[in-house]
Structure 1
Amino acid sequence: MNDKPNFTLKKSAVLATLITATLSAQAEETINRASAMELPDLDVVGTTPLPGTGLPIEKYAGNVQLIDSETIEEQNAVDLSETLFRNIGSIDINSSQNNPYQNDVHYRGFLASPLVGSAIGVSAFVDGVRVNEGFGDTVNWDLIPDFAISNISLIPGSNPLFGLNTLGGALSLQTKSGFQFDGTQLSLSIGDFGRRELTLEHGGNKGNFDYYFGGNLFKEDGWRQRSPSDVRQIFSKVGWENEVTDIDLSYTFADNDLIGNGFVPESHLAADRASVYTFPDQTKNSMHFVNLRGSHWFKR
């Protein structure tokens, strides 16, 4: 009897087993290598400036500077531009128009100004609405009721989220509500050069509803000849909110007459520091602004 066929069969079976084990090991190694190349899940949290999404300020990749309503009230600045100058680093102001409501605001070399023709590089938003004018992107500070501001955020850097000409940064202003301001406040101030200012605020809430109303009257003769100014501002807001939803309807009215006479030759100033060269350099601004804003948090 010949045993060679059995021996050959056994040998083939062993060889097949070895090949199968080798292929299995190679397949397992390939799977392990593929698993090593897979990255874990990554959660990306987007940020939005108008208004914020509740992201802690320390997690924002930038030097965001904040001003709260208490600081604004304590300092009692004439207008918003002066408040920015007093509280935010890298900001300086100048008054080429010689009117307290028409200052140029410079931030790191970029400009927000009411003067048409200026190279604007800073955007401004009130309750999520951009207030740069459609022509020239100028910012009329007299149309922003600073008495109604709850907080101010300055977000530095160029960001396409803020629209065109946001080269140096963006200002985001949030207004007061009846939940933040509950009560009545009346303030009166009198100063040199015929300056008088009266501000009234009233707010409250009941259940999920809240309301806020404020008005400001400003009048001065100006420190120069023929330089009077009149500012009249009204702001009102009603809202409803619960734990996940917030709806606000606001109305802003302004009717202002600003005189900001320009530069004077030194020879004129030597004779009279209060003199003017040409007059009147007059700006009349009027506005009716209605804003409906809503937000809702979707639970995961």
Structure 2
Amino acid sequence: MKRQSRKGKALAFWAGFAVVFSVQQSEAKAASQVVVTVPSADSSSTRPLIAAQQLAPVTVQGVAYGANAVSLPSTISILGQRALTQGQPQVNLSESLGQVPGLIVNNRQDYAQDMQLSIRGFGADAPFGVQGVYMTLDGIPLTMPDGQGQSQIINLPTLGGMKIIKGPFAALYGNAAGGVIQAYTRDPPEPPSLSLRTWAGDWGSHQTTLIGGGVSGGVSGIAGLTDFRTDGWRQHSAATRRQFNGVLHWNPHADDQFSLVFNALNQDALDPAGLTRAELQQNPRQVDPAILKFNTRKSVRNRQTGLVWEHRFDADNTLRMSAYGGTRRIKQYLPFTGNFGVSAGGVVDLHDYFSGTTADYTHSGELAARRYTLAAGLSYGRMNEYRKGFVNDFGVQGALRNDQYNTVDNFAQYMQAHWELTSRLSVSGGLRHDAVRFNSTPGTDAPLSAGTGGNARYSSTDPVIGLLYKLDAHNRIYADYGHGFVTPTFYQLAYRPDGQPGLNFALQPMHLRNAEVGWRGHFGNLRAEASVYDITTDNQIVVFSSSGGRTTYSNAGKTRRYGTDLSLDAALPAHLSARLAYSYLHVRFAGGPYDGNTLPGAPAQQFYAGLTWRPPLQSAALQGFYTTLSALVRSQVFVDAKNSAAAQGYGVLNWATGIEQHHGPWRLSEFLRVDNLLNRNYVAAVVIADSNGRYYEAAPGRNAIVGVQVTREF
């Protein structure tokens, strides 16, 4: 096949332009629109609390109208820097996101496959990466136009905050309508500082992070470099990860701000895969012999840059424009040769080039003497993928088996409005249209590529509306309803269930109908939130089969899910603070081949409880001291849509403690963390629908890390 050069493709790829008038009113600023405040005894809460001590701002973007996130008709959780990083290894999102009800993050102990992340069941069966959930970092998408993302790109030690959006309003972010996770780099320090953090733990695990930044006039910036290495708890599970994340802000004058964002990831990881139940019971740290025979592993190289410009015309009119682009390369060795029949090979080699542009305009005013906000917009994103498959010659790349050039782009238009009908009642609504196009062109140099090309176009127009009523100064109730859209990803399209070569263009997108009712309130040092939801999904995408890391998908008709998310934050006597979070999810297939069965990978219940003691600031001997005891409990999860087997539920107890000292411009902190304090045996994640019955990925027993951080201010 005659192809345009990669350089030419990249130039054409970067030529895409779009104008977006989005829902942001004023976002991605170092000084945030939303300030997280918490009781002085507990600044680790995952949501805004109204109390005396004010913490560093947490930026809020997207559906936030005005300066107060708690006035939104939607379920939103906010994690501050302390909740994300203090006393944590700062390696995986599973460390801290268990505090958020409705959000499940499983640590597979397999860095080749990323975390298993889902919101209200969406994304629960992803074999690797994140599907069905939209992710951003500093306003720049981490989710590709096809809906596939990787949480490993986020450099956790540099984070300053995170926002999780659940419910109908997540649909306004596009074709991953199961939920939204927005991460934000911490603000540049003032005065400038440089910090070095390092820890060591079991199985040769250790991590070192260097972070520096500062403010000088209208220019500010922060950057962090992290190096993580582990020999792995399981056999054949060693990994190395090197990450960089940097943000540079420039304010030439009061009405303009430019932000340059860059992040990079280099990761190499061996892949231990799953175990059968018999293998799990015999030795949960072992691997199947084929894993060693074919030296299964994956390498990832990801680079991404984004530029954001925000201009305020006046107090009521704001323009925001952004452009981003990057490259991603993935090479994966699977546990078979791939040189048989019509196999596409046992080595997958992907070269991706992606980019996108946005431009936002927001207007506020008064109608009938009541405030309103209007927004309308367009967005465009594109990914070019060069996909090849080779024979796995027992851990060495062999002959070419597959060669494809794939493209996907997403062009979206949307509008949104918010109106304060009365001093207590407000209404928000929006409409989004997405058109997602996939195309695959085969090469002529691969033996099985002839006739395997094709294309597909998916589109959807999705409305969302919500009402919020203020019962009093401390209590709000809300109700929202909307439609949503989740397309197949390129990974889900990659292989056909019938085993024939070519993409699985018979796979259809999922369409959601999503309703939610909720309440938020606080009473002194107590804050509570509750929501109930009901979601119907057409064309539910499920794993059809999984063999040695190669997964095929099919549509399985409708699903019906309903559930509740509950959370409670409290500042207790004796300088104690507590957080409780509970979620219940009932999700069943309605009709189709799995009628009445439970969606695999999604636990029906999760409960988190955390208790922290932090002495008063006046205590000189214990200044900066904290100790936290936390528990996470989950119910069983089924391993396939047939519900043929399940991983039993579990409960795990964790403990962390640390202390900090100040000596002039120097700050020193030491910390200790012990996970699985009671040394329980349990399954942390499952491989959905594995054709060899290797469903189970075990968690380690009791393990600990100890570390230190040194900071110097200038």
TM-score by length of 1: 0.74
In the alignment, the residues of structure 2 paired with residue 276 and residue 204 of structure 1 have an alpha-carbon distance, to the nearest angstrom, of 47
Aligned to 1:34: none
In structure 2, the CA distance between the partners of 1:127 and 1:207, relative to structure 1 (3 Å rule), is same
**Do the aligned partners of residues 98 and 287 (structure 1) sit closer, same or farther apart at CA in structure 2, a change above 3 Å counting?**
closer
Instruction: Map residues 66-215 of structure 1 onto 2, 5 A cutoff.
Output: 66-96=78-108, 98-99=110-111, 102-111=114-123, 115=127, 120-134=131-145, 137-158=147-168, 159-166=170-177, 168-179=178-189, 182-215=192-225
Residue in 1 aligned with 2:228?
218
1:100 Cα offset (Å):
9.0
Asked if 1:297 is matched to 2:312, the reply is yes
Q: 1:88 to 1:180 in 2, by over 3 A?
A: farther
How far apart are the structure 1 equivalents of 2:124 and 2:262? 24
The amino acid of 1:292's aligned partner reads L
Q: Which moved more, 1:50-59 or 1:197-206?
A: 50-59
2:238/2:269 contact within 8 Å kept: yes
Identity of aligned residues (%): 19
Instruction: Give, in angstroms, the shift of residue 283 of structure 1.
Output: 2.2
SS at match of 1:110: coil
Secondary structure, in 3 states, of the residue corresponding to 1:86? helix
Counterpart residue identity of residue 58, structure 1: V
Kept in 1: contact 2:222–2:248 (CA 8 A): yes
Equivalent of residue 62 in structure 1, options 44, 66, 74: 74
Provide the C-alpha distance between the structure 2 equivalents of 1:117 and 1:240, rounded to a whole number of angstroms: 33
Which residue does 1:248 correspond to in 2? 259
Structure 2 equivalent of residue 8 of structure 1: none
- The answer to whether the 8 A contact 2:114-2:129 is kept is no
* Counterparts of 2:129 and 2:162, CA distance in 1: 26
Q: CA 1:126 to 1:142, structure 2 compared with 1: closer, same or farther past 3 Å?
A: same
Structure exhibiting the larger radius of gyration computed from Cα positions: 1
Aligned residues: 253
SS at match of 1:298: strand
| Counterpart secondary structure, 2:98 | helix
Contact 2:203 2:230 (C-alpha < 8 Å) held by counterparts: yes
| Alpha-carbon displacement from aligned partner over 1:82-104 (angstroms, at most 9, x marks no partner) | 14523312222224573497221
Task: Kindly state the Cα deviation for residue 263 of structure 1 after the two structures are TM-superposed.
Answer: 1.4
Aligned-partner Cα distance in 2 for 1:89–1:253:
30
Q: Structure 2: which amino acid aligns with 1:154? A: I
Shift of 1:271: 4.2
Q: CA deviation at 1:208?
A: 1.1
The answer to which of 45-54 and 269-278 deviates more is 45-54
* C-alpha distance in 2 between matches for 1:113 and 1:139: 14
Other structure's SS at 1:225 match: coil
User: What is the alpha-carbon distance in structure 2 between the residues aligned to residue 117 and residue 249 of structure 1?
Assistant: 26
Aligned to 2:456: none
**Correspondent of 1:282 among 297, 300, 303:** 297
Give a deviation string over 1:101-130, Cα, whole Å, max 9, x none.
722112211127873598x32111112222
Distance 2:286 2:263 in 1: 36
> CA 1:268–1:292 in structure 2 vs 1: closer, same or farther (change >3 Å)?
same
Q: Please identify which structure carries the higher strand content.
A: 2
Deviates further, 92-101 or 76-85? 92-101
Whole-Å separation in 2 of the counterparts to 1:117 and 1:81: 12
Contact 2:225 2:244 in 1 (8 A): yes
Distance 1:297 1:153, change over 3 A: same
How far, CA to CA, are the matches of 2:191 and 2:148 in structure 1?
30
Q: CA RMSD in A?
A: 2.8
Give the whole-Å Cα distance in 2 for the aligned partners of 1:259 and 1:84: 25
| Residues 273-282 or 77-86, more deviating | 77-86
- Residue 234 of structure 1 is matched in structure 2 by 244
Measure the CA separation in 1 of the matches of 2:92 and 2:123.
15
- TM-score (norm. length: structure 2): 0.33
The answer to which structure has the higher helix fraction is 1
SS of residue matched to 2:149: coil
Query: Which 4+ runs in 1 deviate beyond 4 A?
Result: 45-48, 50-54
Write the letter of the residue equivalent to 2:301: S
1:157 deviates by: 1.8
Segments of structure 1 that go 5 or more residues without pairing to the other structure are 1-44
Tell me the amino acid that sits aligned with residue 115 of structure 1: P
Q: 138-147 vs 60-69, which deviates more?
A: 138-147
Judging changes above 3 Å, is the alpha-carbon distance between structure 1 residues 147 and 78 closer, same or farther for their aligned structure 2 residues?
closer
Partners of 2:158 and 2:98 in 1: CA distance: 18
**Deviation digits for residues 216-274 of structure 1, max 9, x if unmatched?**
00000101111100000012222112543221112111111122321123433444332
Q: Sort the Cα spacing of 1:230 and 1:294 in 2 relative to 1 into closer, same or farther, 3 A.
A: same
| 8 Å CA contact 2:163, 2:183 repeated in 1 | yes
Post-superposition shift, 1:81? Answer: 2.1
| Structure 1 position 265 matched with structure 2 position 280 | no
- Deviation track 1:28-56 (CA, whole Å, cap 9, x = no partner) reads xxxxxxxxxxxxxxxxx955644956531
**Structure 2: which amino acid aligns with 1:62?**
S
Question: Structure 2 vs 1, CA of residues 112 and 179 (structure 1 numbering), >3 Å: closer, same or farther?
Answer: farther
Q: Which residue of 1 aligns with 2:343?
A: none
Give the Cα separation in 1 of the matches to 2:136 and 2:209: 23
State which drifts further: 249-258 or 70-79: 70-79
Output the CA distance in 2 between the equivalents of 1:185 and 1:237.
16
Change (3 A) 1:112 1:293: farther
> Could you say if the C-alpha distance between residues 198 and 59 of structure 1 is closer, same or farther in structure 2, counting changes exceeding 3 Å?
same
Cα separation, partners in 2 of 1:163 and 1:270, compared to 1, 3 Å: closer
Q: 1:291 to 1:74 in 2, by over 3 A?
A: same
* Amino acid of the structure 2 residue aligned with 1:257: D
